[in-house]
Structure 1
Amino acid sequence: MIEKEYINVERELIPYSFEIELGVELFEISFEYNEVSDFFTASLSKDGETLVANEKITYGEPLFSEIYDERYPAPTIVPIDESGNESRVGWDNFNKTVFLVVMND
């Protein structure tokens, strides 16, 4: 069974970063917003090393999945609307109806 958690992103603070425990490891995750194109990006760091910089947050697509090695978190993070009404991530719905869901196996 997949256990789910949610990452609370405070949109009004963007651009900002915070530490987050994913699996059993501590990471820093950063968010930025592109007003012109209405999309968000996320960056991931561990122990001061940037693992991924400014990856676009795309609806239904796991974050940080393009590049993977032992430095990356084990859980999968997916931006989804569990009601099924949304199909993209933008200012009007991010962390309102579309949430970053951490799926722990």
Structure 2
Amino acid sequence: MEYDYLDFNIDDFPQEFEHDFNGVSFTLKIYYNRVGDSFHIDIKDEYGVDIVLGEKLVYGQALWMSVNDQRLPVVVLTPIDEDGEETEVSALNFPVRVKLAFLGEEQNDDIVVDNDDLALTDESDEETDDADDSTDADMNLYGNDSTVGGERG
């Protein structure tokens, strides 16, 4: 399968350039971390305001998918190797063999979500244990209020 790729100058890093996603201009900065042999990307909106800084390019993982920000472009931009021979993004292969590919744009209208499949609670048949009276408000990372500090009256 042939993809469209994000074009940029590969001669020197860091690379800062503008790109239009769906008619909106964004500033992208791709830079290399020599210590970790990794590449990272920043994205700014059309006004130069930071949206996401330091997103690591991970092979096969779409950029910005873990970020919930309406200012981000509606694109699926993923570091991949069309031949399938590479498994990571490194100075040895990026951006010659591994490139930032557009795997989809503006496909949200075609996505159908069945809300019945999005169960937020565990509806198992197991009975709840009423012996534990602690509430969520009493819980923290270290236990509940009676086990941490213990000065409760």
Could you state the TM-score of these two structures normalised by the residue count of structure 2? Answer: 0.63
Matching residue of 1:72: 72
Matching residue of 1:36: 35
Matching residue of 1:88: 88
Could you state the TM-score of these two structures normalised by the residue count of structure 1? Answer: 0.90
User: Does 1 or 2 have the higher relative contact order (CA < 8 Å, sep 6+)?
Assistant: 1
Output the aligned Cα RMSD: 1.5
Residue 57 (str. 1) matches residue 57 (str. 2):
yes
Identity in percent? 31
Q: Which has the higher strand share?
A: 1
| Residue-by-residue CA offset, 1:43-77 (whole Å, 9 max, x unaligned) | 00001110000111000001111112321101110
Amino acid in the other structure paired with 2:4: E
Counterpart Cα distance in 1 of 2:101 and 2:84: 14
| Structure 2: gaps spanning 5 or more residues | 108-153
- 3-state SS of the aligned residue for 1:78? strand
Residue-pair matches, total:
103
Cα distance change on mapping 1:83 and 1:39 into 2, 3 Å: same
Q: Which has the larger radius of gyration?
A: 2
Counterpart Cα distance in 1 of 2:85 and 2:43: 28
Deviation (angstroms), 1:37: 1.5
- Between 1:7-16 and 1:37-46, the stretch displaced more is 7-16
| Structure 1: gaps spanning 5 or more residues | none
